Amino acid sequence: MHGGLNIWQILLESGIVVKFVLLLLLVASALSWTIIWQKWKQLKTVSEANQKFHQFFKTSTSITDINREATENHESTMSLMYRKGFEELNKVSEKLSAAGKGNIATHFSQHGFQPLERALKSGYNTANEKMDFRVSTLASIGSITPFIGLFGTVWGIIDAFSGLSTGGGSIEAVAPGIAEALVATAVGLAAAIPAVWFYNYFNNQITRINSQMESFSQDFLNLIERSILIKKD
C-alpha cells in the first residue's frame, strides 16, 4: 500500500537498544528451537527403545538373555534400570559366595529386595537426569523473553515520543518508533510461546515415561522373585 510503513526499513533504522533487544530475542528463539528439536528426537527414541525392550522383557524368562538385550539397547531407560538391577544382583551373589553366607535366594527371603530397589532407583534417577537436561531452559526462555520484548517496547515508545520535544508533533514523527517498539513485543511473544508449549509437552512425555519405568521396576522384582526365590522352593 502506498505510504505504508516498511517494517524492515524501520528496524534497520531503529536505535541500538532496540536492535540489541531484537538480537537477544532471536538468539533465545534459535536456542529454544534447537532444544525443542533435540529433545523431541531424544524422547521419541527413548519411547521406541522402551517399547522394544519391554516387549522382549515380557516374552523372555531368562534374566541373562534379557540382560544381553539390555546391554545392546542403550537408548532405553528401562534397559538402563535393568542393567543396574542385574549388576547389583550379581554383586550380592558374589559377596554371599565369597563370605560363605548361603545362597542368594535365602538372603533375599530373609532380608528383602532393598539392594535391588536402590539399584533400580539409581537407574531411574540417571535416566531422568538425561531426559530433564535442558528442558528447564525452555521454561526460562518462555518466562524471560516476553519481558525482554516489553523492555524493547517501552524503550522504543520513549524514543518515539522524545521526538515530540523537537517539535515533530505529527503521527508520522512517532509512527516509526512505535512500530519498532511493537515489533519487539511480537518477537518476544514469538520466542516465548513455542518454548512454553513444548516445555509442557516434554514434561508430560517425561511423566509418562516415568510412570512406565515405575511399573517396570515392579516387573523386574517380580521376575527376580520368580527366577530365584520360587526355584528355591
Q: For residue 104, what are the domain limits?
A: 16-232
Would you say residue 2 lies in a domain?
A: no
Would you say residue 5 lies in a domain?
A: no
Would you say residue 154 lies in a domain?
A: yes
Q: What is the pLDDT of residue 2?
A: 47
**Average pLDDT over all residues of the chain:** 86
Total domains in the fold of the chain: 1
Would you say residue 6 lies in a domain?
A: no
For helices 63-72 and 16-59, angle between their N-to-C axes, nearest 10 degrees:
150
Contact by Cβ (8 Å): 93, 104:
yes
Mean pLDDT of 47-53: 96
Using the predicted structure, report yes or no on whether residue 231 has a pLDDT greater than 50: yes
User: pLDDT digits over 175-204, tens only?
Assistant: 667 777 788 888 899 999 999 999 999 999
Would you say residue 167 lies in a domain?
A: yes
- In Å, the largest CA–CA distance within the chain is 98
Would you say residue 10 lies in a domain?
A: no
Would you say residue 112 lies in a domain?
A: yes
Please report which confidence band the pLDDT of residue 163 belongs to, taking 50, 70 and 90 as the band edges.
low
Q: Where are the extended beta strands (E) located within 100-216?
A: none
Q: What is the pLDDT of residue 88?
A: 93
Which of the given ranges, 8-22, 79-93, 157-171, has the highest pLDDT on average?
79-93
d(CA 100, CA 64): 24
Would you say residue 91 lies in a domain?
A: yes
Q: What is the pLDDT of residue 30?
A: 96
Contact by Cβ (8 Å): 145, 184:
no
